[in-house]
Structure 1
């Protein structure tokens, strides 16, 4: 299968390949173990309602991710909070960048620090065991973790750059740019193609474009919550 076909449904193919150990299957709908990541994907929107009802017994808030398909849901048990209009970016050619910061790979010992920083900047979705999805790298200042970038969805062909987060006291210092560049290089070293996802209109899109990424397609995030729990 061509990489472009997998990129049309990145959560699905991540759960079919590299992250298969995290999968929870409901017919033609696949979800991550909710302790890892509250994401799901599907190939047939007519089958998502039953799957959502089952998954909602495990966790109260979760996403289905799709390019342009619309999932169905059972309004007796599930509420659609919002549809987040996102976009996918794929690296063309990595632009050279001088790395002046000391960037370190984060370990199990940093899980709480990663979680706390992400929830400070982007509260709501990150789980502590999302750390298990890929490598995470960070920058420390005065023994404090102040910026991170990690890896999330993965297949045999691509790895997603994710969790690009900087503490509010350390923004506008180029930390996110250097970390994104560094993690992108690490993905290339692994022989895979770097991709990332963000929301439409996010100012960070300009930063990613300067590093050599380009917008490729829409990617929608359907955010639900359970009325069963």
Structure 2
């Protein structure tokens, strides 16, 4: 098994090698998630991405290659780069004490549609219903509805990614996301794994993550491609 530091350099690859192996779709050494679950791809050898991407794009309209510093190669007659997200990886150093004042619920399958609708309201475009299968999701309810969530996405035997940090616009600035991130982080630590997260550079949430003990560690770029 690869060491943690190596896994964090290519989190999609190692997630599909371990915990998420059941979601693996592979073309000549380039790894993708089943597009019904997540549209992330990963590689070590960029020379293989052209053919692999041309195969994978037959199953979906768009996808991401996730890479620390390598540039994928694509067939520009079939695929276009829609945009590149300059992202960063954050890794927990030490979680401070956080007061949990709201009831946090482990979300079961009965809440899949509510999770999907809330994420698409706040961050439309990427989340799929079966993304829910990638890890545990936690939520806070107000006035009888789900208003704030966090989830777990990429993961191996050594790390788990905190993701889907979303709060309904009518319920922001109440500390809900802070509580949920802290709770999700604690659950990961209970499993003796390293909590990590990814975000785009300049995200206004980065100071919050830093207050919760997460440190910026490396670039992690997201190349979004679309079928022509």
The normalised TM-score by structure 2 is 0.99
- Give the aligned partner of residue 198 of structure 2: 197
SS at match of 1:95: coil
Deviation at 1:191, TM superposition (A): 1.2
- Give the aligned partner of residue 60 of structure 1: 61
Deviation at 1:180, TM superposition (A): 0.3
Q: Distance in 2 between matches of 1:64 and 1:77?
A: 16
The normalised TM-score by structure 1 is 0.98
Deviation at 1:156, TM superposition (A): 0.8
**Residue by residue, what CA displacement relative to the aligned partner does 1:11-53 show, whole Å, maximum 9, x if unpaired?**
0000001000000001120000000001010010111010111
Deviation at 1:190, TM superposition (A): 1.1
Structure 1: gaps of 5 or more residues: none
Matched length: 227
- Give the aligned partner of residue 157 of structure 2: 156
Deviation at 1:143, TM superposition (A): 1.0
Where do residues 162-201 of structure 1 align in structure 2 (5 Å cutoff)?
Answer: 162-201=163-202
Where do residues 124-143 of structure 1 align in structure 2 (5 Å cutoff)?
Answer: 124-143=125-144
SS at match of 1:182: helix
Q: Is 1:105 matched up with 2:106? A: yes
**Residue by residue, what CA displacement relative to the aligned partner does 1:191-226 show, whole Å, maximum 9, x if unpaired?**
111000000000101000000000000000000011
Structure 2: gaps of 5 or more residues: none
Deviation at 1:2, TM superposition (A): 1.5
- Give the aligned partner of residue 22 of structure 2: 21
- Give the aligned partner of residue 217 of structure 2: 216
Q: Distance in 2 between matches of 1:80 and 1:49?
A: 13
**Residue by residue, what CA displacement relative to the aligned partner does 1:76-106 show, whole Å, maximum 9, x if unpaired?**
0001001100000000010110100100000
- Give the aligned partner of residue 38 of structure 1: 39
Q: Is 1:48 matched up with 2:49? A: yes
- Give the aligned partner of residue 226 of structure 2: 225
Moved over 3 A (4+): none
Deviation at 1:161, TM superposition (A): 0.1
Q: Distance in 2 between matches of 1:132 and 1:35?
A: 10
SS at match of 1:178: helix
SS at match of 1:24: strand
Q: Distance in 2 between matches of 1:135 and 1:219?
A: 23
**Residue by residue, what CA displacement relative to the aligned partner does 1:125-171 show, whole Å, maximum 9, x if unpaired?**
00000000000000000110000000000011000000000000000
Q: Distance in 2 between matches of 1:163 and 1:127?
A: 11
Aligned residues: CA RMSD = 0.5
